[in-house]
Chain A
């Protein structure tokens, strides 16, 4: 089919006689494309962020806090009793005391470095203080070196500032600390905390995220072999599959009744931690999705409205064309093609605007730059939306009877 058969010339000249309507639709399509493509890009980024794994057995893990208030409360004895009680409960895989919970939003971080001395820069990592049951309770896989044993574990008193001699770190942190070494060979090396306190890397675990999901170093974690003799402590409990919800009230009850000199509080599952930590991202995804859908509908309805109007206005012309021998297909094609021309201008303009908005977002809100392939996909989508929207009115136009040409309106 040659260009002349497609009647681009007459369509274009007709469009030029009624520029404003066409321009309005083109701008609408351009802005709609800008919003939709940027939204999709943000949605994809956020979803990718949300699918990252924390490394722990999220579905079967919960945690609970205990705050002592009674005078002369013996923290060490209480913690040992609590752990014995928790570990003996049927359905509990393991339980530990821990200073902070992965992806929960609050915790400790320290800076670690490979050379001693205040003049060297360190790399930030989350710190988890755990005992020899830590790897099992957190569901971590040891991929190099050795796990902690009972004799490695020490008590940290309140206000105590020195560090144990050993640590287990994540693979991601090992690779960041020693970029030139094979990660497996990092076990046994020494790193420094507090500028110059040595810690020997006893083992490496596959994956464990920091408490803060938005942190650049979220994959950096260090396990420190210790229990905390603090008045406010937290226990993390891993259960057998399906046992979590049954065990939660039992654990709360058991801890509350075993010692009246403290309160238990903050009973929460790791699944809930995830939901809270990613709530902003998940909300943004839902809002942007809604906006995209409504916006597409509005733009499509606008196209339908204007196309119907222009069909109505040209009823007599269409009838005349039909009477002069134009087929129904030709009429349908005319309106589809007209819309295609308008959409093309719109999406071309929209592509530039999309990149423009992305540049603004990158500069103002440190979003990442958009991948190129989003642009053509967006263009094709808007073309399709335009064609679908105009199909109804075009079909109506095609059904106009040739006899109408003989009537006066």
Chain B
């Protein structure tokens, strides 16, 4: 029966090529625009580390200015930590795993004298970073906690830097000159680009991961510059790099891994008691306001999904609505034009449900054609967005399998929904009236 309906549907579509093409085009445009914006929003709001996003928590404490809040609009504590807090909380080791971190940069001098020195970005972090965030290693491993404290000159390279400096070979154990110092390579990461780059959304939520990873305390040792966002409410006391490091300026992020809500409560208790101690020392004059946010809460809090992307998402849904209304109108016209045929079939014994299914098949065929064309348009649209926004959206304009399924499903559901009323109307045509007028 289905095959027969399909044949009828194709016949009917061919009979009115212009009307059918208009419907397919309308659905395709609606699906194309919605899928483009859905893709961008879906990737912007994606869970970057689904297997662990509920066990990783971003740490905030309110070390800000006693006289004015960090953020005038809400009561949020600063979104980064001071060096003092980062190092104290790390030393306390109260979580299963923990890592403070910061962004920096330095010049690499390749050993081959023909290769020019170049500047690379650095993530200063702790040994726990790699197991916490499940980073994939191509060669070697991260460093151990011993190296954190000993301030060893060890480094983990990204695959790109390893290709650039060592021609892609296994460089574990080799030396690399960074900031004029000899570093030992302990590991090389495979491609790793969390989207969003959740571990540091302050400095570009969709930026590339850093090119080098090295122990956090080398910041102090090598006086590495602040590359990320730095905010101060009070100027450093004293001169020089060390004074700046020990100031009330916030430039550091910290994540902890906690396995359940009990550990989470305990860690929050620890933060509160830590702040109480600091209050006794004359710091933290603001009311107690410490936070732990898991990955998705933190993405939400930091408004990782751009406003423009959301505006476009809603506009594109309205666009889809217009396209569907259009399709309903055209289907109505088309099916009414077929009333004589429908009357005849009814008179010859076809039931209402037979006709209903027949016409639903016809709309589904149109919907699927529109969906496939719409996905092609979405690819075009995403390419357009890629061209307009440049490298910023590089990781946000790729259709994956889920999105293709969503797109086809959406077009099918939308077209069938659009077809329901016209189909219902068509089936309710009284056979007698149609036959009479002939």
Contacts and interface: CB of A to CB of B under 8 A. Distances in A.
Contact of A21 (B19, B118, B332, B392): B332
B265 interface: no
Contact of A28 (B322, B333, B421): B322
Contact of B330 (A160, A291, A302, A366): A302
A158 interface: yes
A28 B425 CA distance: 20
B239 A291 contact: no
Contacts of A288: 315
Given A32-B322, A291-B319, A313-B336, A159 B243 contact: yes
Contacts of B389: 279-280, 283
Nearest to B387: A283
A312 B339 CA distance: 14
A150 B315 CA distance: 56
A276 B328 CA distance: 43
Contacts of A140: none
Contacts of B318: 31, 34-35, 357
Contacts of B236: 159, 161
A32 B68 CA distance: 46
Given A301-B22, A309-B333, A159 B241 contact: yes
Nearest to A353: B318
A67 B120 CA distance: 11
B244 A161 contact: yes
A361 B271 CA distance: 38
Given A279-B390, A299-B326, A67 B107 contact: yes
Interface in A269-313: 276, 279-280, 282-284, 286-288, 291, 294-295, 298-299, 301-302, 305-306, 309-310, 312-313
A287 B318 CA distance: 15
A42 B308 CA distance: 10
Interface in B270-317: 306-308, 310-312, 314-316
A21 B329 contact: yes
Contacts of B107: 67, 69, 263
A263 B236 CA distance: 30
A119 interface: yes
Identify which of A161, A194, A231, A263 gathers the most chain B CB atoms within 10 Å of its CB: A161
A232 interface: yes
Interface in A208-233: 231-232
Contacts of A294: 29, 33, 319
A310 to B, nearest CB: 8
A149 interface: no
Nearest to A46: B308
B124 interface: no
A90 interface: no
Identify which of B240, B243, B388 gathers the most chain A CB atoms within 10 Å of its CB: B388
Contacts of A364: 310
Contacts of B328: 24
A77 interface: no
Contacts of A35: 315, 318-319, 322
Contacts of A27: 325
Interface in B248-283: none
B179 interface: yes
A71 B107 CA distance: 12
Contact of B322 (A70, A287, A295, A360): A295
A301 B326 contact: yes
Contacts of A158: 223, 240-241
Contacts of A298: 26, 29, 322-323, 326
Given A31-B322, A161-B235, A313-B336, A305 B244 contact: no
B388 A291 contact: no
Interface in A184-242: 194-195, 231-232
B307 A365 contact: yes
A118 interface: yes
Contacts of A194: 235
Nearest to B109: A69
Contacts of A365: 307, 310-311
B332 A291 contact: no
B385 interface: yes
Contacts of A302: 22, 26, 325-326, 329-330
B179 A119 contact: no
Contacts of A299: 322, 326
B393 to A, nearest CB: 9
A121 interface: yes
Contacts of B235: 161, 194
B329 A25 contact: yes
A282 B330 CA distance: 36
Nearest to A286: B388
A366 B323 CA distance: 28
A3 interface: no
Contact of A287 (B116, B117, B223, B312): B312
B168 interface: no
A67 B119 contact: yes
Contacts of B321: 31
Contacts of B409: none
A264 B425 CA distance: 73
Contacts of B329: 21, 24-25, 28, 302, 305-306
A265 interface: yes
A39 interface: yes
A232 B326 contact: no
Q: Which 4 A-B pairs have the closest CB atoms?
A: A283-B388, A69-B107, A309-B333, A302-B326
Given A21-B329, A71-B180, A194-B235, 18 more contacts: A20-B425, A24-B329, A69-B107, A69-B179, A159-B240, A232-B225, A265-B119, A279-B392, A280-B306, A283-B385, A284-B312, A287-B388, A294-B33, A298-B323, A301-B22, A302-B22, A309-B337, A360-B314
6 contacts: A35-B322, A39-B315, A67-B107, A67-B119, A159-B242, A309-B333
